[in-house]
Amino acid sequence: MPRIRSFLTIALVLGLSTMAATFEARAQQGPPPVITATPLVDTVVDWDEYTGRFVAQARVDIRARVSGYLDGIHFEEGQIVEAGQLLYTIDHRPFDLAVRQARARLDAAAALRDLSILEFERAEELESRNVGSTRNVQQARAVFQEAVANIALAQAQLEEAELNLEYTRITAPINGRISTTALDEGDLVVGGPTGADVLTDIVRVDPIEFVFTGSEADFLRYARLNEGGIAAGDRDARNPVQVQLLDEDDWPWVGYVDFVDSVLDPNSGTITARGVFENDEGFLQPGLFGRARLPGSGEYEAVLIPAEAIVADQSRSIVYVVGDDDVVEARLVTPGALWKGLRIVRDGLTPEDRVVISGLQRVRPGSPVTPVDEPLTLAAGN
C-alpha cells in the first residue's frame, strides 16, 4: 500500500508539472490565431421556395370516330409525334362503297331535278295558252322544289360519307409523346360520339407546366409587394420561376409564372400557381417532383458572410466579431437565405466588421485573438 501511494503521488506531481508547462507554453505563444474577413455587400433578391410537380400542358385521348377493323398502326409506342401525323388506319373499303353510293344518289337526284324543270316549264307554257290548268303548274312547281331539296340531301349524305372515309385515318391532334396502343391490328374498333374505344393517349411535353401551392401569408406578401410597385408581386406579370429536380444542386430550369388561381382554398389556406418551362428535348416528364423558387422581394443591398461563421445558440444566431483591440465580441444577427455561396445577414453586422470565419473553437467573448484577414468571394450564379 505505501508503495502504491508513492506511485500515485509521483504521477500527480508529474501531471501538475505537465499542465503547468502547457499553460506556460500557451502564454508564451500569445492569443490564438483565427481567420477573419470583412462582409461582402451585394445586390440581392430574396427567393421563396415551394414544392410541386410537373404536369402535361395538354392530354388527349385518341378515339376512333367510326367503327371498323383496325388495318394499321403507324407509330412507335412512347415516341414524340407531331400534330397531323398518321397514327391508325381503319379498313376503308366499306366507307369507299358508301361514298360511291352517295355520289350515285346525288346523280339520280340531279337527273330528277332536270326532269322536273322541264315538266314545270311545260306546265307554265300550257297554262299561258289556256291549255293547261293552274293546278298542273302548282304540282310541277312542287315536284321541282322537292327535286332541289333531294339534291341538297344527297349532297349532305355524300359529304358525310366522305367525312367517314376521312375518319378511317386517325391522326395526332397535338404534338407530344404518345403512350402504348390499346388495340392491335385486326381488332374491331368501336367508334362514334359515345362509347368509342380509347386507342392511346398523347401528352404535350413541350412546353411543360410546373404546379405548386403557396400559403395565404405568401399570397398577402406578394400582394403587398405589388401595391408597392415591385414587379415580384404582380400576378399578371410573367415573373421568373426556377426549378431544381431531386438530383440537382443548382436551378437549371428557368421559366415564368403564367397562372395564379383566382381563389384560395378555404380548407388548406393555400393558393395554386403554375409555371411554364420550355422542354424541347423532352427531358422533363409529367409527374416529376421538384422544388421551385420565386423572387420574393425587389433588389436590395445585403451584407454577406460564410454560413459557417454563424453559431447557433438555442434560438439565437451569433457571430463573433474582432474589434480594433483584437478582442472578440459576440453579436446577435438575423440570418437570411444563401446568396452566391454566402449567407445574407439581415441585421447585426456592418460591412466594416471583422468576422471570425475560421477557428471558432478557439474564441471566447472578451478574449484576445490574433486575426489573420482573408478576402471573401462570391460564387457564380445565385
Same structural domain, 86 and 113: no
What does the pLDDT read at residue 318?
A: 93
Domain termination site, one of 240, 273, 297 = 297
Q: What is the domain-level CATH number for residue 213? A: 2.40.30.170
Classify residue 252: in a domain, yes or no.
yes
Is 14 within a domain? Answer: no
Q: Is residue 7 part of a domain?
A: no
Establish if 9 belongs to a structural domain.
no
Residue type, 215: S
- pLDDT score for 234: 62
Residue 17 inside a domain? The answer is no
Distances (CA, A) of 296 to 148, 197, 234, 344: 71, 48, 11, 14
Same-domain pairing of 275 and 216: yes
Q: Does residue 313 share a domain with residue 197?
A: no
pTM of the model: 0.68
36 and 53 assigned to the same domain: no
Going by C-alpha positions, the residue among 41, 38, 32 that lies closest to residue 354 is 38
Q: What is the pLDDT of residue 107?
A: 92
* Number of domains making up the chain: 4
Q: Which residues of the chain have pLDDT under 70?
A: 1-29, 131-132, 228-237, 381-382
Instruction: Write out the residue range of the structural domain in which residue 323 sits.
Output: 31-44+299-382
**Segment holding 95, helix H or strand E:** helix 93-128
Residues 157 and 180 in one domain: no
Domain membership flag for residue 256: yes
- The C-alpha cell at 377 is 468571394
Supply angle C-alpha 131, 136, 142, rounded to 5: 150
Map grid coordinates 358525310 to a residue: 160
Q: Which amino acid is at 81?
A: V
Is residue 223 in some structural domain? yes
CA angle in degrees (0–180, nearest 5) for 156-159-160: 85
With respect to residue 82, please indicate whether it lies within any of the assigned structural domains.
yes
Query: How confident is the model at residue 19, as a pLDDT?
Result: 42
Distance CA 42, CA 378 (A): 9
Residues 195, 324, single domain; the answer is: no
Do both 211 and 253 map to the same domain?
A: yes
The pLDDT of residue 236 is 67
pLDDT of residue 53: 96
